[in-house]
Chains A and B, each alone.
Chain A
């Protein structure tokens, strides 16, 4: 139990960030992290002690997030840029930086989920390619090709600007 505290507690900020970046909804993301931590607590004794605790915890969270995204998709809800809580992504620094960051985060939300998760795990959460492959349960080669596609696509979107983005996909508004 003590090793769980030592290994899992420091991960919680990253878990929240990953969940919120994927779901774009602060309270849904924190609920997801809570589910994840409850699973971690109840399955701690089942994990391979020689394994990587961070990869194991991220795998649990990622699978929960994917299930949640699928459920949302089934219900017909599609979280668009307009629906998101911009305050959740707001950053304090100077205006021009904020805009730039905002543009990247918005472009990120237009990536397909499989590319978004690779980009987040590698670029933001700093998992190694092998760790990301393990979390996503895909070969490293697939991690690399998704990463490459994600980066090219993101660059394309940022060059084209927000107008093209908005018309590039079908916008579904969430039905309340």
Chain B
């Protein structure tokens, strides 16, 4: 006894998707059921008509703007343009920073202390932690390269705290811009993919040493402190707010032990 013929079989028959043995069973069924055979023959004719009507679209020559090689090449070019734009933006930042520096003292005192650091950390976290593709520029696997890069830009020795004891895996990091110069941003995530980050930068003449203090900017919570001219803030989302303090304590302990 063969399995009863189902509608799915009949559609698969129309779509020529049946294995030979089943196809023969369906053909036998259709021979003895002319009404059903007539209906599904019509579906087959529909299918042929659709393919015949729409087939010529696929036979058209592919227009230039859909040429895959051209698209890949123009993407490379636009990346290059992107790099040049980034370089130009850096120049503008330097120029802007320079004029800002010249203007200091005539009433444009920019925030530089631990509060500014806290704000910078919150902004950096808000920008980079939700980034699916590139949350970090240099991954944890290249920690040495990351360390050299950040130390070079900050002109200060730094260390990369290990927070795996608190359940956070080191993802990597990058140099980010702040209104007080370059900063290092280290990113960590937990088993659920929740991210926390540490931002660090030199403290210039203000708050060179500061006790740990909690800060909050929108949905970003953090703990900031400064030791010997270097400021830090450990930041995370509201959901992690309750765990951040002990993790910040642990990060500070490791940094003090190593530097």
Report the Cα distance A161→B11, complex, angstroms: 24
B52 touches A41 (CB 8 A): no
Which of A89, A103, A124 lies at the interface centre, i.e. has the most chain B CB atoms within 10 A of its CB? A124
Q: Verify B62–A91 contact, CB threshold 8 A.
A: no
* Size class of the B contact interface (CB-based, 8 Å): 20 to 34
Nearest CB of A to B73, in Å: 10
Report which of B15, B59, B68 forms a contact with A8, defined as CB distance below 8 A.
Answer: B68
**B74 → chain A, closest Cβ, in Å?**
9
With beta carbons under 8 angstroms apart, the residue of A91, A147, A158 that contacts B11 is A147
Residues of A within 8 A of B53 (CB): 89, 91, 101-102, 104-105
Residue among B15, B42, B58, B75 having the largest count of chain A Cβ atoms under 10 Å: B58
The yes or no answer to B71 lying at the interface (CB within 8 A) is yes
| Cβ contacts under 8 Å, A104 to chain B | 46, 49-50, 53
In the bound assembly, the distance between CA atoms of A158 and B39 in angstroms comes to 13
**Closest chain A CB from B103 CB (angstroms):** 41
Q: Is B57 an interface residue (CB 8 A)?
A: yes
Residue B193 at the A interface, CB < 8 A? no
A155 CB–B CB distance under 8 Å: yes
Tell me whether A155 and B46 are in contact (CB under 8 A).
Answer: yes
Q: How far is the CB of A86 from chain B (nearest CB, A)?
A: 11
A101 to B56, CA, bound (A): 12
CA distance A144 to B13 in the complex (A): 13
A10 to chain B, nearest CB (A): 10
- Interface size of A by Cβ–Cβ distance < 8 Å? 48
- Could you say which of B39, B50, B54 has the most chain A C-beta atoms within 10 Å of its C-beta? B54
Whether A41 contacts B8 by the Cβ 8 Å rule is no
Q: Judging by beta carbons under 8 Å apart, are B62 and A17 in contact? A: no
Are B50 and A155 interface neighbours, CB within 8 A? no
Are the C-beta atoms of A30 and B11 separated by less than 8 Å? no
Most buried by A among B8, B49, B72: B49
**Contacting residues of chain A (1-56) with chain B, CB-CB under 8 angstroms:** 1, 4-5, 8-9, 12-14, 16-17, 20-21, 30, 33-34, 37-38, 41-42, 46
**Binary interface encoding of chain A residues 141-171 relative to chain B, with 1 for a CB under 8 A from any of its CBs, else 0:** 0001001100100110010000000000000
* A33 and B66 form a contact (CB under 8 A): yes
Residue A108 is within 8 A (CB to CB) of chain B in the complex: yes
Q: Is the CB of B50 within 8 A of A5?
A: no
Q: Is B47 an interface residue (CB 8 A)?
A: yes
A to B CB contacts below 8 Å, 13 in the list: A4-B68, A12-B62, A13-B57, A13-B60, A16-B57, A16-B60, A34-B66, A41-B71, A124-B54, A129-B12, A147-B11, A148-B11, A155-B39
Given contacts A37-B71, A88-B57, 10 further A-B pairs with CB under 8 A are A5-B69, A12-B68, A13-B58, A21-B54, A46-B133, A101-B53, A103-B49, A108-B50, A120-B50, A155-B42
Residues of chain B touching chain A, judged by Cβ–Cβ distance below 8 Å, are: 7-8, 11-12, 14-15, 17, 39, 42-43, 46-47, 49-60, 62-63, 65-66, 68-69, 71-72, 75, 133
- List 8 A-B pairs, minimum CB-CB distance, nearest first: A101-B53, A13-B58, A104-B49, A17-B57, A123-B47, A17-B58, A151-B43, A105-B53
